[in-house]
């Protein structure tokens, strides 16, 4: 039990990629950090690898829904996020790619400003990759901390098909521990992307940076929802929180406060706290993703082995001139268990889809999406059981988003067909797992709520380090960029704390 929560140098709200990497950097330089996190620690038991418990029952489900209106719907539907120490990193697939030089063209800093932080993040996260193999690799990737492991059989099938089509598949740089004998090593199971790792071989940020740090310099206060940030003049002075266990409220003072609650909750928290910048919550992006699935005339993964191993970036720059952005990448993705496929399949074909699960193989298409001012996070008039307004999301894809995604889907279908696939089915990803952009960093306050150091304009001591800061989504998975930015921002904070 914590005694005195005051007296820390920095208070960090949220323990995902941004919060944990920043915390690590500050602790390394002797600062004392208090992390307030609404979730609990991961269980790390057998149910973390149980597809029903994680994907259908959502055992880490948050207490209040987010109201989402998308795809032209008139009404809002309820969506529940997970709440856990480590945030989405606990469920992520470990793909750790850098954005490319061109992706920074509309950002207030350049790729060069990120190079050393990217390198540091790759080392800290123990990324396994093969430098020089990605045809659109940005400069400065001289080596990865570890070599990738050999391709498992399902990935080999995709590699062979890609090469037959003249493409250049490469190993996804992965933050999974295959090689370091000082830590639990990956068992190559088939419940990785979307699941906590029971044995902590996935280098999520709870395991890598927060667990076991008991020096007294760090306290992670779990089950603690920050309700509001309090301001005094040009500075923030304290945060008000609610203890989820008993509903009691508390206050923590802080000289520096860092918001890292994720791209949905961080803008909501600023709005609850009375911050009035007109772009808070605007420009929500989440990539325009789809899974392209084919049925094969044989069982595709009889050993049920891990195969999120291959990436294609061949089409990355195909539309830069036309649409002003990257297209994106294609990556391996596992096939869920029959009961999960049955649950999500369209009415009437669910039984058949479940029966075909063992013969399916899929590719995930990750396309850049436009930052549109109308896509936003705001607060509803509806309140949750603790009296806080529910968070609301409004989101629509642009025609360009769909064009980019369709370009990748077309190519993914060619790869899977060449690999031997017969019947195809493509479905969009509806989640906000790659949410970014809602508190964009900018060179002027007119264009975004954060300055280039990710400090809230006109507030001396409030920073944001989660995916909210990103001015565009780019065409690769976001975690490594969020990690690198948190390390970059930590340097600014260290200059005055
Ligand atoms: C299934 C899945 C697979 C993915 N795979 C990949 C991948 O392979 N590669 C990749 O790069 N990216 C992947 N991602 C995306 C990646 O995980 C996220 O982009 C990244 O983890 C986001 O980090 P963040 O710091 O912005 O926020 P989050 O991870 O959302 O962290 C925010 C934290 O703040 C806490 N919080 C929120 N509100 C409050 C509050 N009011 N008070 C206290 N605490 C609060 C949350 O509980 C959470 O722990 C995946 C995501 C998912 C869900
Ligand atoms: S594949 Fe490896 S890292 Fe992923 S959940 Fe299984 S054991 Fe953990």
Q: How far apart are CA 57 and CA 477, in angstroms?
A: 26
Nearest protein CA to atom 31 of ligand 1, as residue: 16
Average pLDDT over residues 15-43: 97
Query: What does pLDDT average to over the chain?
Result: 96
pLDDT band at 347 (very low <50, low <70, confident <90, very high): confident
CB 435 within 8 A of CB 102: no
User: Cα(305) to centroid of ligand 2, in Å?
Assistant: 10
pLDDT at residue 54, as a whole number: 97
Whether 393 has a pLDDT exceeding 70, the answer reads yes
Question: 40: which DSSP letter?
Answer: B
| Ligand 1 atom closest to 16 (CA) | 31
Average pLDDT over residues 65-80: 97
| Max CA separation in the chain (angstroms) | 68
Whether 476 has a pLDDT exceeding 60, the answer reads yes
Cβ of 81 below 6 Å from ligand 1 = no
Find the ligand nearest to 177 CA: 2
Average pLDDT over residues 453-461: 96
1 found inside a domain: no
What is the domain count for the chain? 1
Cβ of 306 below 6 Å from ligand 2 = yes
Q: How far apart are CA 19 and CA 210, in angstroms?
A: 10
Nearest protein CA to atom 13 of ligand 1, as residue: 92
pLDDT at residue 4, as a whole number: 66
Find the ligand nearest to 261 CA: 1
* Nearest 10 degrees: Cα torsion 338, 343, 345, 346: 150
User: Cα(262) to centroid of ligand 1, in Å?
Assistant: 6
2 found inside a domain: no
pLDDT at residue 496, as a whole number: 82
Average pLDDT over residues 3-29: 93
Residues 6+ apart with CB under 8 A from 147: 128, 129, 130, 179
User: Cα(90) to centroid of ligand 1, in Å?
Assistant: 8
- Helix/strand/coil percentages in the chain, nearest 5: 25, 25, 50
- Output the domain CATH number for residue 306: 3.50.50.60
SS3 string, 73-139, reads: CCCCEEECCECECCHHHHCCCCECCCCCHHHHCCCCCCHHHHHHHHHHHHHHCCCECCCCCCCCCCC
138 found inside a domain: yes
Task: Judge if pTM exceeds 0.95.
Answer: yes
Average pLDDT over residues 125-137: 97
Mutate to test the pocket of ligand 1, among 11, 13, 16, 202 (most ligand atoms within 8 A of CB): 16
Helices 17-28 and 479-494 cross at an angle (nearest 10°) of 40
Average pLDDT over residues 58-78: 96
- Which of these ranges, 169-173, 271-275, 353-357, has the smallest mean pLDDT? 353-357
276 found inside a domain: yes
Average pLDDT over residues 355-376: 97
Whether 13 has a pLDDT exceeding 80, the answer reads yes
106 found inside a domain: yes
Whether 374 has a pLDDT exceeding 70, the answer reads yes
248 found inside a domain: yes
Domain residues for 267?
A: 10-494
Question: 46: which DSSP letter?
Answer: G
pLDDT at residue 403, as a whole number: 98
pLDDT band at 6 (very low <50, low <70, confident <90, very high): confident
Structure-block tokens of residue 230: 């309090």
Closest CA to 114 of 491, 388, 436: 491
pLDDT at residue 214, as a whole number: 62
Per DSSP bridges, beta strands 249-253 and 10-13 are: unpaired
Average pLDDT over residues 270-284: 97
5 found inside a domain: no
CB 268 within 8 A of CB 280: no
Cβ of 357 below 6 Å from ligand 2 = no
Average pLDDT over residues 448-476: 97
Cβ of 100 below 6 Å from ligand 2 = no
User: Cα(19) to centroid of ligand 2, in Å?
Assistant: 23
339 found inside a domain: yes
User: Cα(167) to centroid of ligand 1, in Å?
Assistant: 32
Residue 216 has a CB neighbour count (10 Å cut-off) of 7
Average pLDDT over residues 80-101: 98
Three-state DSSP at 463 gives strand
CB 32 within 8 A of CB 218: yes
pLDDT, tens digit (0-9, with 9 covering 90-100), for 230-256:
999 889 999 999 999 999 999 999 899
Average pLDDT over residues 188-213: 95
Cβ of 366 below 6 Å from ligand 1 = no
pLDDT, tens digit (0-9, with 9 covering 90-100), for 164-180:
999 999 999 999 999 99
Mutate to test the pocket of ligand 2, among 44, 306, 307, 308 (most ligand atoms within 8 A of CB): 306
pLDDT band at 391 (very low <50, low <70, confident <90, very high): very high
CB 409 within 8 A of CB 401: no
User: Chain centroid to CA 5: how far?
Assistant: 29
Whether 2 has a pLDDT exceeding 50, the answer reads no
Cβ of 89 below 6 Å from ligand 1 = yes
Cβ of 174 below 6 Å from ligand 2 = no
Mutate to test the pocket of ligand 2, among 43, 154, 191 (most ligand atoms within 8 A of CB): 191
Cβ of 54 below 6 Å from ligand 1 = no
């Amino acid at each position: 039990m914590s005694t005195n929560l005051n007296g820390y140098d920095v208070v960090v709200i949220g323990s995902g990629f941004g919060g944990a990497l920043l915390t690590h950097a500050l602790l390394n330089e002797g600062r004392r950090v208090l992390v307030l996190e609404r979730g609990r620690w991961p269980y790390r038991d057998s149910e973390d690898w149980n597809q029903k418990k994680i994907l259908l029952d959502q055992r880490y489900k948050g207490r209040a829904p987010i109201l989402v209106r998308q795809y032209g719907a008139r009404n809002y539907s309820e969506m529940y996020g997970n709440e856990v120490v480590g945030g989405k990193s606990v469920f992520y697939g470990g793909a750790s790619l850098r954005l490319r030089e061109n992706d920074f063209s509309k950002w207030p800093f350049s790729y060069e400003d990120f190079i050393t932080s990217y390198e540091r993040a790759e080392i800290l996260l123990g990324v396994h990759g093969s430098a020089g193999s990605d045809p659109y690799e940005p400069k400065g990737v001289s080596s990865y901390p570890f070599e990738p492991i050999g391709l498992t059989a399902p990935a080999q099938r995709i590699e062979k098909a890609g090469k037959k089509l003249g493409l250049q598949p490469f190993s996804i740089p992965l933050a999974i521990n295959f090689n370091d004998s000082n830590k639990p090593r990956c068992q190559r199971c088939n419940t990785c992307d979307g699941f906590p790792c029971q044995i902590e071989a996935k280098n999520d940020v709870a395991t890598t940076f927060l667990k076991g740090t008991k020096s007294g310099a760090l306290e992670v206060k779990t089950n603690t929802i920050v309700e509001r940030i309090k301001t005094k003049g040009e500075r923030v002075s304290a945060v008000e929180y609610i203890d989820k266990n008993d509903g009691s409220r508390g206050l923590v003072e802080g000289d520096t406060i860092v918001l890292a609650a994720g791209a949905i909750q961080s803008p909501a928290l600023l709005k609850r706290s009375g911050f009035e910048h007109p772009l808070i919550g605007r420009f929500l992006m989440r990539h325009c993703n789809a899974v392209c699935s084919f049925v094969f005339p044989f069982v595709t993964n009889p050993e049920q082995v891990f195969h999120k191993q291959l990436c294609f970036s061949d089409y990355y720059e195909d539309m830069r001139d036309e649409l002003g952005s990257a297209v994106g990448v294609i990556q391996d993705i596992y096939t869920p268990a029959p009961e999960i496929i049955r649950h999500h399949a369209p009415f009437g074909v669910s039984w058949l889809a479940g029966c075909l699960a063992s013969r399916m193989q899929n590719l995930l298409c990750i396309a850049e999406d436009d930052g549109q001012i109308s896509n936003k996070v705001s607060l509803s008039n509806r309140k949750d059981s603790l009296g806080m307004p529910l968070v609301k999301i409004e989101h629509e894809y642009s025609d360009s988003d769909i064009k980019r995604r369709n370009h990748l889907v077309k190519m993914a279908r060619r790869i899977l067909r060449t690999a031997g696939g017969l019947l195809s089915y493509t479905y969009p990803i509806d989640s906000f797992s790659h949410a970014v952009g809602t508190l964009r960093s900018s060179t002027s306050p007119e264009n975004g709520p954060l300055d280039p150091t990710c400090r809230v304009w006109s507030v001396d001591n409030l920073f944001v380090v989660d995916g909210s800061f990103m001015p565009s989504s780019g065409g690769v998975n976001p975690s490594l960029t969020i990690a690198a930015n948190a390390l970059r921002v930590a340097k600014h904070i260290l200059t005055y704390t």
